[in-house]
Structure 1
Amino acid sequence: MTVYPLMPPGWKPDIERDYMAEQAREIEGFFSTPEPLTPTKMIWVTKDGRRLFVGEMTNDHLYNTINFLYRWGTVALPATILSVSQLLMCLQGEQATIGTDREVDRLSELTVTEFIEEEIPTWPRLLNEAEKRGMKIPGLVPRWS
């Protein structure tokens, strides 16, 4: 409910105008575009929505993020190949099946790190930051001492 300050005698509130203004504020807030919650090349978005520059991450956080993404890639790559190859059963027409076959072949030739690099824009920056700090890359070399 809108509270009006003391006004001169005879003044009446314009209820319709106030209602429309309130609705406009609600709609404006509803349709405003929020900050993107997806990682970019320089910013990592945590699971609780915090945005961190890769350079500001602690060593443990950086290590855990790289390790998480590598584990994710080892599961996501075969799952992606499987889902694309299952799409072949639904398609009709030579052109569609040829394109899907090529995509399955392309995905099959990717390594896990190449797949992650395609899917996660932050991946190269994370690896560069780890190398700059002298950290060992998980999955390839055991964790630093």
Structure 2
Amino acid sequence: MRASGARFAKILYVDTDFPRLKKLRKDLADFEKVSEMSFSSNRYLEFNPPKVNKGTGLKKLCQELGYQLDETMAIGDSFNDLAMIKAAGTGVGVANVSPEMRADCDKITEKTFDQGAVAEAIGRWVLPDYE
């Protein structure tokens, strides 16, 4: 695959058949040389420019704001969140996080995003004594 001169912000491929998306990613393995590939919501295959992901974004944000990565908490549910979860000081998966990602999470909430997982994570692990 040739990447010279190729520029893109993001490519999003949609398919509700997740096994077919996994096969497509495998078939397009050479694309990993010129892009960051990840799944989100079990229906999207995302292509970002090389080294562009939520993990590098979190690192850049910390640099800009003067924080250390170990002072951060990242919360996610899908593979497009994985680099961020791994980069953060505390990586949190929500209750319905992709099963293949659970081992990469430091903590797992009892709630999904729709049920208030972010509030739960802040209440349990950032401000547990706040009333």
Q: TM-score, normalised by structure 2?
A: 0.26
Select the structure that is richer in strand: 2
Larger Rg: 1
Select the structure that is richer in helix: 1
Higher relative contact order (CA 8 A, sep 6+): 1
